[in-house]
Structure 1
Amino acid sequence: MKIERCEKESFVVIGKEGSSLDGAGFIQKLWDEANSHFEEVQHLAKKDENGNIGGIWGAMSDFSHSFNPWEDFNKGLYLAGVECSDDAEAPNGWTKWIIPGYEYIYVECESDDTFSKAIKYLEDNAIPLVGAVHDFTCPQTGKNYMFFPIRKL
């Protein structure tokens, strides 16, 4: 597992919000809903210099919307969405989150145990997890990553 670090200033994600209280498979249901109505937010998506969408995020937060880690790593909120410009407003049926700026450790999702391996790495190296973990999909490569916030900016 390759561990990388980056800093990312506060950013906006507009997506479909759900909760672990919604039951098994709720994350996939959110993605199905977001993907089937993507045309409603596509024009709001942040784009790179070539016009490509900047990022697809599965943003997470504790139930208070404070972006703290999920309780017991399995209870919290999830937002399946796209990174948007800061001034974008969420259309009806969509939710806007402003993710705080953090320094992250991020890893490519290469197996089902990526999360537990990364948490073990943080513990073994006495690196605190200071916020909720986020899923990220790079639209250009299709690769999936997990972003672990280790320091507030």
Structure 2
Amino acid sequence: MKIEKCQKESFVVIGKEGATTDGAGFIQKLWDDANSHFGEVQHLAKKDENGNISGIWGAMSDFSRSFQPWEDFSKGLYLAGVECNEDAEAPDGWTKWVIPGYEYIYAERENDGVFLEVIQYLQEHGVSLVGAVHDFTSPQTGKGYMFFPIKKL
């Protein structure tokens, strides 16, 4: 597993919000809903210099909406959405989150064990999470990554 580091300033995600209290499979249901209604937010999506969508995010937060890690890594909020421009407003049925800026350690989601592997790596190196972990999918490559915030910007 290759672990990398980056900084990302505060950014906006507009998506479909749900919670672990919604029951098993809620994340997949959110993605199904977001994907089937993507046309409603496509025009709001942030684009790179080539006109490609910048990023697809599975953003997470604790229930207080302060972007702290999920309680026991098993209870919290999830937003299945797309990175948007700062001034974008969420249409009806969508939710806008402004994710704080962080320094992240990130790793490609090569298997289901990546989360625990990175948590172990952080513990072994004396690094603490300062916020909730986020899923990121690159629209250009289709590869998925997990972003672990280790320092507020």
Shift of 1:111: 0.8
Structure-2 residue corresponding to 1:138: 138
Residues 26-105 of structure 1: matches in 2 within 5 Å?
26-105=26-105
Shift of 1:16: 0.2
User: Residue type of the partner of 1:145?
Assistant: Y
Query: Does 2:118 correspond to 1:118?
Result: yes
Query: Matches of 2:112 and 2:94 in 1, distance apart?
Result: 29
Query: What is the RMSD computed on CA atoms of the aligned residues?
Result: 0.3
Query: Matches of 1:130 and 1:23 in 2, distance apart?
Result: 26
Residues 7-18 of structure 1: matches in 2 within 5 Å?
7-18=7-18
Runs of 4+ in 1 over 2 A off after TM superposition: none
Shift of 1:25: 0.2
- Secondary structure of the 2:120 match is helix
User: Residue type of the partner of 2:102?
Assistant: Y
Query: Matches of 2:28 and 2:81 in 1, distance apart?
Result: 12
| Ranges in structure 2 where 5+ consecutive residues have no aligned partner | none
Q: What is the TM-score of this pair, normalised by structure 1?
A: 1.00
Structure-1 residue corresponding to 2:25: 25
User: Residue type of the partner of 1:127?
Assistant: V
Shift of 1:129: 0.4
Query: Matches of 1:80 and 1:13 in 2, distance apart?
Result: 8
Work out the number of aligned pairs and report it: 153
Shift of 1:114: 0.4
Shift of 1:22: 0.2
Q: Once the two structures are superposed, what CA deviation does each residue of 1:93-134 show, in whole Å capped at 9, x if it has no partner? A: 000000000000000000110000000000000001000000
Query: Does 2:109 correspond to 1:109?
Result: yes
Shift of 1:144: 0.2
Shift of 1:52: 0.3
Q: Between the two proteins, what is the percent identity of the paired residues?
A: 78
Q: What is the TM-score of this pair, normalised by structure 2?
A: 1.00
User: Residue type of the partner of 1:113?
Assistant: G
